[in-house]
Chain A
Amino acid sequence: MVGAALLVGATVVILGACLLLVILVVAVRARRHSRNQRDEMLLSPLRPPLITVASGEDDDGAATEELTWATGVSRTVLDRNIVEMLTKIRGVPADQLVRVLEVHGAVDAAVADLTSRSTVRRARAAQLLGLAKAEHTVPLLVTALGDEAMEVRNSAAYALGPIGDPVAAGPVLAAIGAPERGLPAATAAEALQSMGVGISEVLRDGMGDPNPRTRMVAAHLSGERSFTRGLPELRRLLDDDPDVTVRETSATAIGRLGRGEDVDILVRHTVDSEPLALRRACVIALGELGDPAAVPALATLLADADPRLAELAASALLTMGPDGSSALLGHEDDAAVRSARLMASLQRASA
């Protein structure tokens, strides 16, 4: 009897909680919908000048001036829309919209918001400063790379990318290896990718960092950006680094920007005493390098015990012109060569 009453009571409580949850979700959605409608209404008179400026058709500056006149809540809504627009356009129209934000005091407000107690405000502030390319805030954004909240650290890194000041490259790279408050390697790489050629020396230094993820990003970007001055460091990492992922990344980078003299070092690390992933990376890099001096070593690898490695060697030889093709003579029926030829024809067909 007591058990049945308990069951009914528990059911009622659960149903009540579910009902409350549904009401809450509906209320939140209704509030959001009503706020969106209010924002649309407030923005509607400002929409035509906003589109005129964003499309680069505000030759006399009248539309820009109209936007600067916005006040109160309309200004807040407009500034939010301008920030969103800045993620979509670049060039003179973007500069004009940044000018509107400056006149509205939104850039100064964002500087103040970087120290707000709200994580969301800090992250949004960093985003705005990046989109506004506010160069004078680089030191503040660098400080924000050590923020307690991951979203703020990410936002600061993404902001520093488009600002492009090479001074920030070192701190962004170092933030990858920061204990507890680190930056994801992919985020740092993306931010650094946006910066100019002034970061090449920072990347060279980064290849000597104690943190393997930092060395990996530095090696990867040196290859991506074709910073040939980093070649001595890349060779050293491929030879000696204790982390195999760093070695693989270095091999790939050497494949992209190396020279004929790099065939030897890459071949040296295709031997079967090396980790398989590294051997494969070196074979791919030899193909990328495309130097005929690699043909004998690649031909030997056609008989490797690892079928994938043999296929990669065949693929590399296929890209090396007559020298590579002659090395494949007599191996036409090998599974690795057939597979490599098939892959090459599929790639040609889809290109």
Chain B
Amino acid sequence: MSAPAGDPDASPVRVLVADDDADIRDLVEFKLTQAGYAVEAVPDGVSAWEAFEANPPQLAVLDVMMPGLSGIDVLRKIRESGHPSVPVLLLSAKSRDSDVDTGFAVGADDYVIKPFSPRELLHRVNGMLARAR
């Protein structure tokens, strides 16, 4: 899989991945790292928000159902903070139209339903970053 477009000498694009499911967290981290991204992976919403505040990434992949703060809560905090333009992709097993509507209403840029294709997830991440540039 090709690396994200851009200057090869530039520092890699930073992506925050938050999921309480270790399988998904590990495979998304691996997939994005292989594609050239610098990934910080965390296991819950509170850690996600702390990581975001400490060093805002250029994109975030958030699970919706996480202990403590949900992905929707973290997304809301991101949008209410000084970073309304950081692209956020929600990854969730919640597949009803109303769940997807809620995600976009709070400010998600994309919504991927589990079970998901890792390849498709990477294409979406690449696309979101390309549009954000």
Quick one: given A88-B114, A89-B115, A89-B117, are A55 and B27 in contact (CB under 8 Å)?
yes
Stretch from B8-16, B18-26, B49-57, B71-79 at the A interface: B18-26
Chain A residues, Cβ within 8 Å of B27: 51, 54-55, 89
Question: Which residue of chain A has its CB nearest to the CB of B32?
Answer: A55
Instruction: Say yes or no for A93: interface residue by CB 8 A criterion.
Output: yes
| Contact status A85-B119, CB under 8 Å | no
Chain B residues, Cβ within 8 Å of A92: 117, 119
Chain A residues, Cβ within 8 Å of B23: 51, 54, 81, 84-85, 88
A90 to B95, CA, bound (A): 15
| Contact status B26-A93, CB under 8 Å | no
A55 to B120, CA, bound (A): 11
Contact pattern, B 104-118, Cβ under 8 Å of A = 1, otherwise 0: 010000000011111
| Contact status A56-B119, CB under 8 Å | yes
A91 to B31, CA, bound (A): 14
Q: Which of A54, A55, A350, A351 has the most CB of B within 10 A?
A: A55
| Contact status B120-A57, CB under 8 Å | no
Instruction: Say yes or no for A94: interface residue by CB 8 A criterion.
Output: yes
Question: Which residue of chain A has its CB nearest to the CB of B31?
Answer: A55
Contact pattern, A 88-102, Cβ under 8 Å of B = 1, otherwise 0: 111111100000000
Q: Which of B24, B27, B30 has the most CB of A within 10 A?
A: B27
Measured between C-beta atoms, what is the minimum distance from B126 to chain A in Å?
14
Instruction: Say yes or no for A339: interface residue by CB 8 A criterion.
Output: no
Instruction: Say yes or no for A52: interface residue by CB 8 A criterion.
Output: yes
| Contact status B116-A51, CB under 8 Å | no
Identify B115's interface contact among A51, A56, A81, A90, CB under 8 A: A90
Quick one: given A89-B117, A91-B117, are A57 and B105 in contact (CB under 8 Å)?
no
Instruction: Say yes or no for A87: interface residue by CB 8 A criterion.
Output: yes
| Contact status A55-B117, CB under 8 Å | no
B contacts with A, residue count (CB < 8 A):
19
Question: Which residue of chain B has its CB nearest to the CB of A131?
Answer: B115
Chain A residues, Cβ within 8 Å of B115: 86-90, 94
Chain B residues, Cβ within 8 Å of A81: 23
Instruction: Say yes or no for B99: interface residue by CB 8 A criterion.
Output: no
A47 to B30, CA, bound (A): 12
Chain B residues, Cβ within 8 Å of A56: 31, 117-119
Chain A residues, Cβ within 8 Å of B21: 88
Question: Which residue of chain A has its CB nearest to the CB of B26?
Answer: A51
| Contact status A57-B116, CB under 8 Å | no
Question: Which residue of chain B has its CB nearest to the CB of A52?
Answer: B30
Question: Which residue of chain B has its CB nearest to the CB of A57?
Answer: B34
Quick one: given A51-B26, A54-B27, A55-B31, are A91 and B105 in contact (CB under 8 Å)?
no
Question: Which residue of chain B has its CB nearest to the CB of A91?
Answer: B117
Measured between C-beta atoms, what is the minimum distance from A8 to chain B in Å?
46
| 25 chain-A/chain-B pairs, Cβ below 8 angstroms | A47-B26, A51-B23, A51-B26, A51-B30, A54-B27, A54-B118, A55-B27, A55-B28, A55-B31, A56-B31, A56-B119, A57-B31, A87-B115, A88-B21, A88-B23, A88-B114, A88-B116, A89-B116, A89-B118, A90-B115, A91-B117, A92-B119, A93-B117, A94-B115, A351-B101
Please give the residue numbers on chain A whose beta carbons come within 8 Å of chain B beta carbons, in ascending order: 47, 51-52, 54-57, 81, 84-94, 350-351
Known contacts A54-B23, A88-B115; 10 additional CB pairs below 8 A are A52-B30, A56-B117, A57-B1, A57-B31, A81-B23, A84-B23, A88-B116, A91-B118, A93-B118, A351-B101
